[in-house]
């Protein structure tokens, strides 16, 4: 399993790994990477089935996606990281923190959930994408990724993310839908020991604020930041607020 990855920032700085959402690539984190790279060695990567990573046949599981990260860190000889994931990337972060806690120094969970939509929703989406391609769901996805105001004000950015979505291999996208169909981490949240920050977005329909609030309640000592004026891809719609939250948590001294 080969994951495409890229490093930015000083070679000797602490590593912060950025994990993207379903239907995006490491480019999702463009608004954060340059700023974070001033203080961290930023590691961005593409999930299996996405971008320039391998596309094995599905179904996948979130546990496999987390194991891919462990394999990548081993290959790069990186011991532990601050792990920041959005949506699917957040689910990977939760799983990684549970099964390999020694690899996660700090955890940032953006616009994610311990249980997204119900199983049949994801299996139906996987069937649609396998039969008709990612284009069949693109309009619905983009309406959830960004608020109407942002779509009207920033059409070039929306077009960029439409391109990322449409370039996702249909099997990679569908197989990650399979993974989310089986994903339910609600009863495992109390196993997370890494210092955790949860970021929720005011208008997020895919991972509503109450989903993040549940995580923050059940993970011991977790912090919670609410971002106003953003939908699911809050780091794109409100980049300064999300970057500030990530950097502050990653730099905070241990209690």
Residue 33, pLDDT > 90, answer: yes
Q: What is the dihedral sign for C-alpha 89, 112, 241, 190?
A: negative
Residues 118-171 pLDDT 10s: 999 999 999 999 999 999 999 999 999 999 999 999 999 999 999 999 999 999
Of 190, 185, 242, the closest CA to residue 216 belongs to 190
- Which H or E run includes 159? helix 155-166
Tell me how far apart the alpha carbons of residues 165 and 210 are, in angstroms, rounded to a whole number: 26
Neighbouring C-beta atoms of residue 205, cutoff 10 Å:
11
Of 101, 118, 117, 94, the closest CA to residue 198 belongs to 94
**Ranges of each domain in the chain:** 5-251
Q: Between residues 8 and 253, which one has the greater pLDDT?
A: 8
pLDDT of residue 253: 56
Residues 176-197 pLDDT 10s: 999 999 999 999 999 999 999 9
pLDDT of residue 89: 98
Across all residues in the chain, what is the average pLDDT?
97
Q: For a pLDDT cut of 90, what percent of the chain falls above it?
A: 98
Domain 5-251, CATH number (from 3.30.450.20, 3.30.450.190, 3.40.50.1820, 3.40.50.2300): 3.40.50.1820
| pLDDT band, very low/low/confident/very high, at 1 (cuts 50, 70, 90) | confident
| pLDDT band, very low/low/confident/very high, at 255 (cuts 50, 70, 90) | very low
Of 179, 165, 177, the closest CA to residue 24 belongs to 165
Residues ≥6 apart with Cβ < 8 Å to 186: 114, 115, 214, 218
Q: Determine the angle formed by the axes of helices 170-181 and 62-76, rounding to 10 degrees.
A: 120
pLDDT of residue 112: 98
Tell me how far apart the alpha carbons of residues 173 and 47 are, in angstroms, rounded to a whole number: 10
């Amino acid at each position: 399993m080969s994951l495409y990855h890229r490093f930015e920032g000083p070679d000797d700085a602490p590593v912060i790994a950025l994990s993207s959402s379903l239907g995006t690539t490491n480019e999702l984190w463009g608004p954060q990477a340059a700023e974070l790279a001033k203080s961290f060695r930023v590691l961005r990567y593409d999930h299996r089935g996405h971008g320039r990573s391998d596309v094995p046949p599905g179904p996948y599981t979130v546990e496999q996606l987390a194991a891919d990260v462990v394999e990548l860190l081993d290959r790069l000889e990186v011991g532990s990281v601050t792990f920041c994931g959005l949506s699917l990337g957040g689910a990977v972060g939760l799983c990684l923190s549970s099964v390999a806690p020694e690899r996660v120094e700090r955890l940032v969970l953006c616009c994610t959930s311990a249980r997204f939509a119900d199983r049949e929703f994801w299996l139906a989406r996987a069937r649609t994408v396998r039969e008709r391609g990612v284009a069949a769901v693109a309009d619905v996805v983009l309406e959830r990724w960004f608020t109407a105001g942002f779509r009207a004000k920033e059409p070039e950015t929306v077009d960029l993310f439409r391109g990322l979505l449409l370039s996702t291999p249909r099997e990679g996208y569908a197989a990650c839908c399979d993974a989310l169909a089986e994903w339910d981490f609600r009863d495992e949240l109390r196993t997370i020991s890494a210092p955790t920050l949860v970021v929720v977005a005011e208008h997020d329909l895919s991972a509503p604020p109450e989903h993040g609030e549940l995580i923050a309640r059940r993970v011991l000592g977790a912090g919670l930041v609410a971002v106003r004026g953003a939908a699911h891809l809050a780091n794109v719609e409100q980049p300064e607020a999300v970057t500030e939250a990530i950097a502050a948590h990653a730099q905070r001294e241990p209690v």
